[in-house]
Structure 1
C-alpha cells in the first residue's frame, strides 16, 4: 500500500473506534430500516457532488438526515418513500449517517466514507473472482485496505424494475475473506487507480456470466432502439400471465424457426403429429451431455438439438392440474407439450418447472418436445431419465421413461431468447440488479461484456450506445463509461476471414471513439486461446485505470495505446497513421508488424499485408485482384498481433477505410 493510501487508515480506524462501538448499523424502536439497503455500514458515497439518500418511512412523516456535519430534511410521500439531498462533500471519513422521523424511529450507519464510487458490470469476465486471477494466493493473502470497499449485487432477473435487492447485500472492507470472491477486474482497477487518485474507492459489482447486453438495458430504452416491441409486449404479459405469455412467445419462436435457413416447409419438430418424429435417432437412455454420447458429429458440437419423448396418462390424470418438471438443461430450452409452448429458461445446470394449463394434457400419449441450445462446452438434458416427470396435483409423479429421440439442427442462426430469461432476456438484469441501485452517486462505470453478443457483432454498437445513454439517464448525464474490448479467444486463424468477435470489437472501438466520456481498455494481447476467461486481470485493471485517468480525471496521457487515425495511399502502398503513441511504434517478436490486412470492397477479398514501421505510421503492401478500399488489423477471434508502443500498450483491432486516390 502506498504512503498516500496509508494516510486514510489511521484517522479512519481511530474515528471508528471512537464513534462506532459496534460496526453493525443500528435501527431503533423495532422499525423496519429507514434507509435503502445501499446505505449501510462501510458504504462509500460519491464526493464533490450532491448526495442523494432515500428510503421508506411512515406515509407523511418528516425525515431528518445528519451526515458529516451536514443536515437535511424531507417528507415521506403517500407510499412511504422519501428522498433527501445532502450537499457535496470532499473525500474523507469515516462518518456516521443518521436518519430519524417524527415517530421517533432512528437508524444510524457507521464507518461511511466519501470518495469515488464505481459500478462494475458485464458478464463472466467481470464476474470472475480474485481467486481465479493470476497469483491469486498471494493477492488474497496480501489483501487489506480500509479505503477500498466492496459491494456485490445479488444475482436476480426480474420482469419488472425492483426497488430493493433480491437478497441481503452489504458493503465490506477489503480483507482476504471479502476479496476472494469479488470481481478481480473491478478490484485491480481500483487498486491501480488509487496509486494516482488518493481517495477512498467504493466498488459495486453487478455482473452475471453469460449475460447479453439487452438484459442490462431498461425496457424503455430498448423500445426506443427499435426491433424489440413484440418481445417486450410478451414480457409485460409474462408479468401477469406467464402461461399465456409462453404460448404467445411460442408463436414468435416458431415463426423464427420456419424462416430459418435450411428449415424445410412444414418442418415443425414440436408438433404432436406422428410425422414430426420421422427420422429422429434414439438418445442414450440416461441422456447427459451429447458430447459424451459417442456420436462423432456431436463430440464438439455447439448449437441446437431437438429432443422428443412421450408420457402416457389416464383420463383421470390428464384432467388434473400439472407441472412439467425437468432436470438440469445446459443451457437454454424451448419446451412444448402437445404442440403448445409451455416455457423457456436460460440456466446451465438449472432445473425447470413449467405449469401446464388445464386442458392441455390428454388421455393416452402426450408429446414433449424440447429444443436445447448450447453455446459453450457440454450441452444437453442431464440424466438420469428419472429426473424428468409430469407432477400431478394429487401428488403423483409420472416419470418421462418412454425413451428420448433427438435430431441436431446445425448452423449458427440461433433462436431468439425468451424475453423473461434472466441473463439472456430483455431488461431483466436491469430490473433486478441495476434498478435497485436507484440513483446512487457514481464516479463512473466499467463494462466488460460482449462474448454473449458475438453472434450479432454488427448490431452491438447501437446496443452499447443505448446502454450508455440509459445508464446516464439514471446515474447522471456525464457518467463516464470504461469499456473492455474483448480479449482474444480460440485458435489463431490460418488465413484471412470474417469474425463476429472482431466485428464486436470494432463496435466497441467506435462507441468509445465517438464519445469523449467513454474510454476503451484494449485486451487483445492478454487473452487465452484456450480459456474464454483469461486470468491476467491485473494488467486489465492497470489498463482500465489508465483509461480512467484520461477520460475521468483529465490526465494528459494516451488512454489505451496506439489508435488508427487514417489510411492513405502512397503509390502502390497504403499508409496507416497512428495517434496516442507513447515512445514510438514497435513490433514485438519480429522485424515487422503482423496481423494487417488489405481488402477490396467485396467480402472474402482481404489478404495479409507486408508491414513496415515508419515513425508513427505503418506502410502496407499486399497483392490484390482489385484496389484496396479497407485496412483491417487483428481481424479474427484470436488474432496474432504484435504492434505496441513504447509504453507496452498494444494497438487494438480495427477496420478503417482507404479514401480514393485523387486524380
Structure 2
C-alpha cells in the first residue's frame, strides 16, 4: 500500500513538474538559425499569467527579457540578433521553476521553402525519381554544416495551428537526404557566396493546389471552393487537392518565425485553370503570407513549372499555366521568377519530378543574390519576349534581358508561326544581323514556308514545348505567344 502511495505521489509530482516546465514552439530548438541583424520572435507556452525569462548572449554579455503568458498560456518575446556568423549561441528560457536551454543556435539568413512536390522533393529523391548528383553531395555534406533545415510535417487542419512537431537539423551525411533538394542547392549557393549560415524552413506538401494554401476569408470571398470538411472530401478524393487545410496545418505554425524571404515551387496541380485565375490567386497568396508574417514586403522568388507531357505533348494547358506564372511575376512586387524550360531531359517528358534540382536552386539563389542582397554582378533574369515586327513573310522578334548575348545564331528550335487561321507550323529561326542600319537588326527572324502571311509567333508554347534559346547568362528564354485567347 505504501509503495503504491509513493508511486502515485511520484507520478503526480512528475506530472506537476512536466506541466510547470516552460514549453517552446518546436521551431525554437537546438540547431535553429535565426535571421541576422533584426528583431526575431521567440515564443512558447506556460501557465496563464506566468512570466518567462529569456536570456540571450548575442552581444558578449547576457541580456534577459521578460515575457508574460496570456490567458491562453502563450507568450512571445522579441530579441535583437547580431550580424551573421558561425559562432554557436545558447538561449535559456526560465519560468521560475525550470530552465530550458536551446543550443547550437546560429545567426544567418532564413528562407521559407513552400509549394508542392518539386519543392518537397528531398535530396534522396522520391521512388523512381532520383536527384542528379546525390552521392557527391552526401560525400561533401560536412563542408556545408552551416546549412540547417527544419521540415514542417504535412498536416491538414480546419483551423490555423500554432505549432508543429518538428526539429532543426544540421546538414551532414546522415541528414542531407531529407532536405529539400531545391532548397538545399539554393542555400548552398547563398552560403558560398555570402559566407554566412543559411536556414531553411520547409513548409510544403506534394500535390497541393494553390487553393490548399489560401486562407478561409479569401476562399470564401473569391472562389467556389468547398469549405465544409465533408464537402471537401466529396469533391476531392485526394486529400492533397483539398483547399485551406494545408495552409492551416502546415504553414500557419511558422508564421511567428522571422525569415528573410519565401521560395515557392508549385503550379502543376493547377494546370488547366481558367485564364488569369492562377495569376490572381498567386498574387493574393503572396499578399496573405506577407500580411501574416508581419515583416513587410518579404522577397518572393518562384519557379515556373517545367515542360511535361500532361497526356498530350502538343497540348498547351501546361504552357498557359506557365504564362500565368510569368504574368504573376509582373504584378507581384519584390518578386522574381526563374525559367526551367531547359532542365528536363528528353526521357523525362512524362516525369513530373525532373532530376536536375541543382540548377533550380542556383537560379533561385541568383534572384536573391541580385535583388535581395544587391549583387548586381550576378545575372539572374531569363530573356523574355519584348516586341515583334512583321516584314513580308518573316516575323522579327525582339527579346529583353539578353545581357549582351544570344547563346546561338543557328539551329534555333522551338519557334512556330501562324496566320489568321491560328494554325501553328514549325518555323525556322535565326539571329538577324547585317552591317548596315536596319530596324530589324539584332532580332530573331522567324519564318515558315507554310505561312505566307504570318500574324502570330509562339515559342516553346506546348505542354512538352522544347526550345533552346538562351541569353548571355545561359538562362533559357521564357515560353511565350503573341496570340491571345479571345
TM-score (norm 1): 0.63
C-alpha distance 470-656 of structure 1, shift in aligned 2 (>3 A): farther
Contact in 1 for aligned 2:417/2:454 (Cα 8 Å): no
2:461 is aligned with 1:641: no
Unmatched tracts of structure 1, length 5 or more: 1-27, 239-245, 251-342, 345-415, 659-663
Deviation of 1:572 (Å): 4.5
Deviation of 1:170 (Å): 0.7
Q: Secondary structure at the match of 1:205?
A: strand
User: Paired residue for 1:531, among 347, 351, 359?
Assistant: 351
Contact in 1 for aligned 2:283/2:332 (Cα 8 Å): no
User: Paired residue for 1:446, among 263, 268, 276?
Assistant: 263
C-alpha distance 612-492 of structure 1, shift in aligned 2 (>3 A): farther
Q: Secondary structure at the match of 1:195?
A: helix
Deviation of 1:436 (Å): 0.8
2:400 is aligned with 1:574: no
| Superposition pairs of residues 175-214 of structure 1, within 5 angstroms | 175-214=172-211
Aligned to 1:482: 301
- Greater strand share, structure number: 1
Contact in 2 for aligned 1:42/1:171 (Cα 8 Å): yes
2:396 is aligned with 1:561: no
Report the structure number with the largest CA radius of gyration: 1
User: Paired residue for 2:92, among 88, 98, 123?
Assistant: 98
C-alpha distance 208-513 of structure 1, shift in aligned 2 (>3 A): same
| Superposition pairs of residues 378-389 of structure 1, within 5 angstroms | none
Q: Distance in 1 between matches of 2:483 and 2:472?
A: 26
Contact in 1 for aligned 2:115/2:203 (Cα 8 Å): yes
Give CA deviations for 1:420-470 in whole Å, capped at 9, x if unaligned.
x64111111101110011321111111111111112163211121121111
Contact in 1 for aligned 2:419/2:454 (Cα 8 Å): yes
C-alpha distance 550-146 of structure 1, shift in aligned 2 (>3 A): same
Contact in 2 for aligned 1:516/1:551 (Cα 8 Å): no
| Superposition pairs of residues 126-165 of structure 1, within 5 angstroms | 126-131=119-124, 132-144=130-142, 145-165=144-164
| Superposition pairs of residues 360-399 of structure 1, within 5 angstroms | none
Q: Secondary structure at the match of 1:149?
A: strand
Give CA deviations for 1:191-244 in whole Å, capped at 9, x if unaligned.
1122212211001112222111111222223334x123x612x2xxx3xxxxxx
| Superposition pairs of residues 510-659 of structure 1, within 5 angstroms | 510-527=327-344, 528-556=348-376, 557-587=378-408, 591-599=410-418, 604-614=422-432, 616-622=442-448, 624=451, 628=455, 630-656=456-482
Deviation of 1:555 (Å): 2.4
2:240 is aligned with 1:423: yes
Runs of 4 or more consecutive aligned structure 1 residues displaced over 6 Å after TM superposition: 491-494
Q: Distance in 2 between matches of 1:533 and 1:78?
A: 47
C-alpha distance 148-457 of structure 1, shift in aligned 2 (>3 A): farther
Contact in 2 for aligned 1:493/1:636 (Cα 8 Å): no
Deviation of 1:52 (Å): 1.3
Deviation of 1:576 (Å): 2.1
Aligned to 1:279: none
Deviation of 1:32 (Å): 4.1
Unmatched tracts of structure 2, length 5 or more: 1-15, 125-129, 434-441
Q: Distance in 2 between matches of 1:487 and 1:565?
A: 22
Deviation of 1:33 (Å): 4.0
Give CA deviations for 1:381-417 in whole Å, capped at 9, x if unaligned.
xxxxxxxxxxxxxxxxxxxxxxxxxxxxxxxxxxx53
C-alpha distance 553-180 of structure 1, shift in aligned 2 (>3 A): same
Aligned to 1:217: 214
Aligned to 1:60: 49
C-alpha distance 457-520 of structure 1, shift in aligned 2 (>3 A): farther
Q: Distance in 1 between matches of 2:136 and 2:80?
A: 41
Tell me which moved more, 428-437 or 89-98. 89-98
Contact in 2 for aligned 1:155/1:433 (Cα 8 Å): yes
What RMSD, in angstroms, separates the aligned Cα atoms of the two structures?
Answer: 2.6
Aligned to 2:290: 472
